[in-house]
Amino acid sequence: MKAPVPEPTQKPSETLQALEASAGARTTSARGLAFVLLLLLAGFALSAWQMWLLQNEQKAQSQRLTALAALKTELDQSRRVLSDLVQDQSQLAEVFQEVTIRVESQAETLALVRQQTTEQAAVWQLAEVATLVRMASLALNVFADVPQAMGFLRQADMALIGAEGRDLVTLRAAIVSDLAQLAQVPSVDRIGLYLTLGQLMSTVADLPLRHARLAPKQMPQPMQPPVAGFWGWAQQAWNTFSARLVGLADFRRGEAVPKPIPTAQAAQDLRQNLLLSLSTAQSALLRLEQPIFDEELRKVETWVVDYFDPTAAPHQAFLVGLGQLKMEIIQPELPSIEGSIAALGQAQKPQVVSP
């Protein structure tokens, strides 16, 4: 824009004023132009800054969109994985439910088997105890063997350790009571007594027989000349009678009652009778027959006292051993174990279950 040219017809003062006004106007327009340029520059800079911000925002949005797309892809993948996991979990839940059902079924079967096993074990336990109690009764009543009967009852008591139930506890109490009664029975050493009888039998052959202890013979009186007449004949008859009477009698000293003296054959028969009686006593000992045992020992003692020499050492030792045997009780009074048998019968009764 060009400034107006002053006319030459103007005055210098007016021209100066016009020049100053023109300069002021040019200065003002320059300032305005500069301001406008500045505004335009500021607007351009603002536009450029906004464009830069917009580009940055677009880049950020593009990055966010890319990140969102990637995130969406990851979410889709995660959703698919989660869906697969849910499906797998559902399958696992079904499998777990099936396994649980099978485990419960097996647990019920196992409980049933355990119950049956427990019942069978109780039945077998009671059968074992019944067998032992009956064996104890047989040993006591038939064989009179107290140690054997106590052994069977102890085994029955051990078999009932840990048993429960009123009947089984009652059975065990009855067994313990019968054991206490059997423990009070005096023991009989039948083997030792049998061997002692055998030892006496081996000494029978060494027993010396009784021998006659005759009175000393009297010296014969000197023969006197016979007296004539009746008195002479009577004296001769008396001498003949007394001589014959002395030959018929056997006088034994030291005996209140004369004992018989056996002959050789009678002595052999006597020893056989002693052996037979001692053997019979052995048999009675094994059969626990107290009367027969005592009777045979009594007969042996009588024969030994009557027919054998009481002063001999074998005779005295024989009588000492025989006396010890006579004091033995081979068949003591035995208690009964009917308490255990009755308790066993009660335990074997079937249990009635009330509805």
For the segment 139-186, what is each residue's pLDDT rounded down to a tens digit?
888 887 888 899 999 999 998 888 778 888 899 899 999 999 998 888
Cα angle for residues 89, 95, 99 (degrees, 5° grid): 140
Q: In terms of residues, how long is the chain? A: 355
Measure the CA–CA gap between 74 and 53, rounded to whole angstroms: 30
Confidence of residue 235 (pLDDT cuts 50, 70, 90): confident
Measure the CA–CA gap between 62 and 60, rounded to whole angstroms: 5
Measure the CA–CA gap between 153 and 44, rounded to whole angstroms: 123
Residue scoring higher pLDDT (253 or 146): 146
Confidence of residue 97 (pLDDT cuts 50, 70, 90): confident
Which residues does residue 308 pair with via DSSP β-bridges, in sequence order?
209
Average pLDDT over residues 91-99: 84
Within 8 A by CB and 6+ apart from 281, the residues are 197, 292, 293, 296, 297, 300, 325
Within 8 A by CB and 6+ apart from 278, the residues are 197, 200, 201, 204, 296, 300
Within 8 A by CB and 6+ apart from 326, the residues are 294, 297, 298, 301
DSSP 254: T
Per-residue pLDDT, 174: 92
Burial of 55-90, coded b for 16+ CB within 10 Å and e otherwise, reads: eeeeeeeeeeeeeeeeeeeeeeeeeeeeeeeeeeee
DSSP 57: H
Residue labelled with tokens 């009594």: 298
Per-residue pLDDT, 280: 94
3-state percent breakdown (helix, strand, coil) of the chain, nearest 5: 75, 0, 25
